[in-house]
Structure 1
């Protein structure tokens, strides 16, 4: 399942904002919750699917125009990847990381601005620039788990793009870098495994 499929699962168009993702999930969760539909396996499966989609989209939904960023600091319980990932159930909890209290106001602004720019670069498939941006931020904030996650995401997205460009060896390098950068991200692992399966099937 790709990112667009997760949006569709919640009845949304690709690129919907974080507040739209939350609102749609709340509405559907009330409709399909097992407590509301006891003994209904179809409703239960739908609830599981929308919950998985919601958890994934928490990490990739666009910041709201009003500035509600699904800031990198939003800390969803389960993390994943911008624009492209998981089918396996996401069950990762964010490891202890550099907290906002450890960042100066300037660093916090730098991080937020970099996040917004990263989203745009990934959206328009400007992967080399996205990687340069996030690697620079990673050098500035080496202990920040969220920054590591974004860096891994950028690598995975670039690796996936390279598969389409038939640059197989380079794709493998970046996919491996993705999981090495954020090894505890189960959603990312699932997505990278899918990319490797695609490599095997196509090449």
Structure 2
């Protein structure tokens, strides 16, 4: 499970801190816990995936600032300055994650939250996908110059996505893909940029262009099952919007 999948499973953005991570995990663990969904194999698998994603993100998410009160998984309508993107870690050293906090036992009378928002509102609130950091350089055959180019490009992509300057992000990732055509991570980044731009086009009601970029995302990283699942939902939103 890669970093981008972990953020998607826990419904977080790359700006999430450790408190956001814990809050989102507790909420999703209660939702998918086997005690809440007896006999539901799909819910049991979802609970396992959420727990694994939590353990993975514990290694990389930053601590919460003292004045942070708004979780990263719930977009705020206030016009606050965006938090800086997480730093790129080229090193592959890892630390042993601590055990995740046990999910609280849900009350018997509690009911799952109903989705009350309309389809268009749901599209506008979807978190923008983020490319995962460049972490596989230890076994890479890239030259030092190409490794530096890759790390610098990742930082620029994070900044462009946060500013929603998707055309420039597309141009940057396509140039990087031409320079490093055999790099699997770059292909993953390219697919995520295409998907991000496609979602923005859906919000702008440019549905034909959105469909084209979503298809480019699938063609770029065709073996990414998580990407396929998300883009299928994006296609359904396009059909509903017509």
Match of 2:88 among 37, 45, 69: 69
2:148 corresponds to 1:109 = yes
Answer with 1 or 2: which has the greater Rg: 2
* Superposition deviation, residue 53 in structure 1: 5.1
d(CA) in 2 for partners of 1:56, 1:164: 31
Distance 1:124 1:68, change over 3 A: closer
Deviations 1:2-52 (A, max 9, x none): 959613xxxxx86125xx38x849x96xx98xxxx9x74569858436337
- Counterparts in 2 of 1:155-166, with a 5 A limit? 155-166=194-205
Distance 1:147 1:159, change over 3 A: same
Match of 2:229 among 190, 193, 203: 190
Distance 1:139 1:127, change over 3 A: same
Which ranges in structure 1 are unaligned for 5 or more consecutive residues?
Answer: 8-12, 75-81, 86-96
Match of 1:128 among 138, 163, 167: 167
Deviations 1:56-80 (A, max 9, x none): 969x978xx8x85255989xxxxxx
Q: Is the 8 A contact 2:177 2:190 kept in 1?
A: yes
| TM-score where L is the length of structure 1 | 0.63
Q: Which structure has the highest helix share of the two?
A: 1
Deviations 1:106-163 (A, max 9, x none): 1111101111111111121110000011001000000001000100100011011111
2:76 corresponds to 1:50 = no
Distance 1:185 1:49, change over 3 A: closer
d(CA) in 1 for partners of 2:47, 2:186: 31
| TM-score where L is the length of structure 2 | 0.54
Following TM superposition, where does structure 1 have runs of at least 4 consecutive aligned residues deviating by more than 2 angstroms?
Answer: 2-5, 39-58, 67-74, 82-85, 97-101
**Alignment partner, residue 88 of structure 1:** none
Number of paired residues? 166
* Superposition deviation, residue 200 in structure 1: 0.5
Which ranges in structure 2 are unaligned for 5 or more consecutive residues?
Answer: 1-6, 63-83, 94-126, 131-135
2:24 corresponds to 1:6 = no
* Superposition deviation, residue 104 in structure 1: 1.0
d(CA) in 1 for partners of 2:8, 2:56: 8
